[in-house]
Amino acid sequence: MKKHYLYIAILITTLILGGLLVFGPTKIIFRGKTPSSEKEIPSMLKALPFENKKPRPKHYEKLLANLKDNEIFLEKIVFSPKDAPKGTYVYFDLVISFKEKKTAKNFKEAKDVLEHDLVSRLTQWDWLDFQNADGLQLIKSDLLRYLQQKYGSQVANIYFIRFKIGKQKGL
């Protein structure tokens, strides 16, 4: 009985050693490749349907330099509106103006919460409203009302800096 265990142990050991000789070191098998430098983009960002890897346009640097203390710039807000064709997305860059500097500073620290609120509100709008200027004006006024209801009357105005409709690659 003990001989059977010994034969099985020898067989398993030779299989493991043979596998190591054939396939090389185990660290290549069990560990994935790590990014070699800080500049390399992780694979999830490469899989995004929109061009998130492009550098900021030069005219945005001038815009950022001219921003007042009571304004914040929200860049690359991407979402898919209600009833949009498959793979279609809307891309926004916008500036939100506040009545006080302190409020703007608080929102600069919590940009992600504000962006999430904007995306959740914008996805409720129908796809056709993004197709014309009248619809965009309605969306802008609705966003302003929504932010004023949610965060108080400190929100003074919203300015659309860039608006783009795109389609996912490969669809």
Q: What is the pLDDT of residues 71-90, one digit of tens each?
A: 999 888 888 888 888 888 88
Q: What is the pLDDT of residues 100-129, one digit of tens each?
A: 888 888 888 888 888 888 899 989 988 888
Does residue 42 surpass a pLDDT of 60? no
The model's confidence at residue 51, banded by pLDDT at 50, 70 and 90, is: low
State how far the Cα of 144 lies from the Cα of 98, in Å rounded to an integer: 11
Does residue 91 surpass a pLDDT of 60? yes
State how far the Cα of 157 lies from the Cα of 99, in Å rounded to an integer: 9
Q: What is the pLDDT of residue 144?
A: 92
With contact defined as beta carbons under 8 Å apart, do 103 and 138 qualify?
Answer: no
pTM recorded for the entire structure: 0.62
Q: What is the pLDDT of residues 18-31, one digit of tens each?
A: 887 777 655 554 54
Q: What is the pLDDT of residue 158?
A: 92
Q: What is the pLDDT of residues 124-161, one digit of tens each?
A: 988 888 888 898 999 999 999 999 998 888 889 999 88
Ramachandran bin of 24, using left for φ above 0, alpha for ψ from -120 to 50, beta for the remaining angles: left
Name the pairing type of β-strands 155-167 and 71-79. Answer: unpaired
Domains of the chain and CATH, by start: 49-167 (3.30.479.30)
Q: What is the pLDDT of residue 112?
A: 85
* Residue scoring higher pLDDT (54 or 158): 158
State how far the Cα of 136 lies from the Cα of 134, in Å rounded to an integer: 5
* Strand (E) or helix (H) holding 159: strand 155-167
State how far the Cα of 108 lies from the Cα of 13, in Å rounded to an integer: 60
